[in-house]
Amino acid sequence: MNTIALQPMDWLNLFLYYLSLSLLAVGGAIATAPDMHRFLVERQGWLTDVQFNASIAIAQAAPGPNVLFIALLGWNVGLNAGGIGPAGWASGALGLLLCMLGVMLPSTALTWLATRWGHRNRDRRGVRAFKQGMAPVVIGLLLATAWILTSAHGNPATDWPLWLLTAASTVLVWRTRLHLLWLLGAGAVLGALGWV
Amino acid sequence: MPAPQPPSPGTEERPRPRNTADLFWSFTWLALQGFGGVLAVVQRELVEKKRWMTNEEFVEDWAVAQIMPGPNVVNLSVMIGDRYFGLRGAAAALAGMLLFPMLLVLALAVVYAQFASHPAVAGALRGMGAVAAGLIAGVGLKLAMALRKHPLGLWGCALIAALTFGGMALLRLPLAWVLPVLGGAACAITWRRIPA
């Protein structure tokens, strides 16, 4: 456990940093991860590289929104500042709350206001054109996200079982109503056995 | 503040959440099923199982959630919660999406160190990642079926979705370029084709 000392101004800085990042997170929070690395690891030295990468990996593997990696980053900053034991947990919880509140407040408030405006004006031609016109773009974005995740598997020539697993789950989700947890469970078992 | 309206007034009785507690637990349950991203589970639970919304409405809401800054599924939960129960609904859906998943991710982070190097654990995560990519692609294809009645026609939509996919997945262009150009064009053409 590498220990750091955080002054009240540092906690405030952490909160303000995430406040300022919130409205820039267009296209998902993970798109702003490089900037968090620059701030938390390189500039402030509040986290190690290993802690940073592990936070992202755990949040990706766990169920729930991927934005929770920010909660883990805050938790780890707090642990580093508070040390081991209850003091560390309290300080970890503080770090977690500051980061999550900071990153969520501005974007969620803006979304809420925009939704209300859009719903009140939902019969306007411009609002209808926007919502309907974006639909094909959104579907293209979904397929692109799936493609980028798939190509992270590596080379199709050597890692073809992984690509096959992705293709099979695509068809099963598209064509059947099989419960998604069965699919994920099957993926976990195949992976644990070393078959993919 | 005007009372929030159900999604499309005029249609007869359609299922909707009973109260804010129902919203909270519905979003908790779907967040906890969402390994590698919650989107596929949201479509399955809210459209196909609970029938709170149609595929068309889901694509439209998803487009807005995607464009607003902040995590997409978090924005979506705020939008849907607000529609049924106003600010209280938005808060309940948001809390459902984040509270238990956050506790779970913290618990995972605490035990992670013991098991991270185990090859079966790494393999299981790899397998689940491959399935998660397929889930997103499958939902994309399923939603594409909802474009049949779109003002741009099936081929117009297919062209825009393909260009989006090519720009994002193959050319790896920034979203900040793709979204205004293709989204702007799609919305402008849609605007000309729908009745005033």
Which residue among A111, A140, A181 places its CB closest to the CB of B75?
A111
Residue B81 lies in a domain: yes
* Better-predicted residue by pLDDT, A29 or A80: A80
Q: What is the pLDDT of residue B113?
A: 62
Is the pLDDT at B12 greater than 70, yes or no? no
Q: Chain A residues with CB inside 8 Å of B74's CB?
A: 65, 67, 104, 107-108
Determine the average pLDDT of the residues in A6-26. 90
A26–B contact, CB cutoff 8 A = yes
| Dihedral, CA of residue A149, residue A153, residue A158 and residue A162, to nearest 10 | -80
Residues of the domain holding B98: 15-104+133-139
Residue B117 lies in a domain: no
Domain boundaries, chain A: 8-117, 127-192
Residue B68 lies in a domain: yes
Residue B22 and residue B93 in one domain: yes
Give the confidence band of B123 by pLDDT, cuts at 50, 70, 90: confident
A118–B contact, CB cutoff 8 A = yes
B66–A contact, CB cutoff 8 A = yes
The tens digit of pLDDT for each residue in A159-177 reads 899 999 999 999 999 999 8
What Cα–Cα distance (Å) separates residue B87 from each residue in A113, A120, B50, B64, B73?
Answer: 10, 15, 22, 18, 17
Residue B157 and residue B95 in one domain: no
Q: What is the ipTM of this complex?
A: 0.83
B10–A contact, CB cutoff 8 A = no
Residue that finishes a domain, picked among B113, B139, B165: B139
Q: Are A83 and A1 in contact (CB under 8 A)?
A: yes
The tens digit of pLDDT for each residue in B169-187 reads 899 887 778 888 999 999 9
Is the pLDDT at A26 greater than 80, yes or no? no
Give the confidence band of B24 by pLDDT, cuts at 50, 70, 90: very high
Enter the tokens of residue A87: 């003091």
Is the pLDDT at B10 greater than 50, yes or no? no
Residue B114 lies in a domain: no
Give the confidence band of B14 by pLDDT, cuts at 50, 70, 90: confident
Please tell me the total count of domains within chain B. Answer: 2
Enter the tokens of residue A78: 């707090």
Residue type at A95 in one-letter notation: G
Lowest mean pLDDT among A121-125, A160-164, B76-80, B129-133: B129-133
Burial track A117-144 (b if 16+ CB lie within 10 A, e otherwise): ebbeeeeeeebbbbbbbbbbbbbbbbbb
B80–A contact, CB cutoff 8 A = no
Residue B118 lies in a domain: no
Residue B175 lies in a domain: yes
Is the pLDDT at B98 greater than 80, yes or no? yes
Lowest mean pLDDT among A53-57, A179-183, B70-74: A53-57
CA pair distance A95, B87, nearest whole angstrom: 26
Q: Chain B residues with CB inside 8 Å of A139's CB?
A: 59, 140, 143-144, 147, 157, 161, 164
Is the pLDDT at A17 greater than 70, yes or no? yes
Q: Do A64 and B157 touch (CB under 8 A)?
A: no
Give the confidence band of A131 by pLDDT, cuts at 50, 70, 90: confident
Q: What is the pLDDT of residue B19?
A: 94
Q: What is the pLDDT of residue A2?
A: 53
Q: Are B72 and B65 in contact (CB under 8 A)?
A: yes
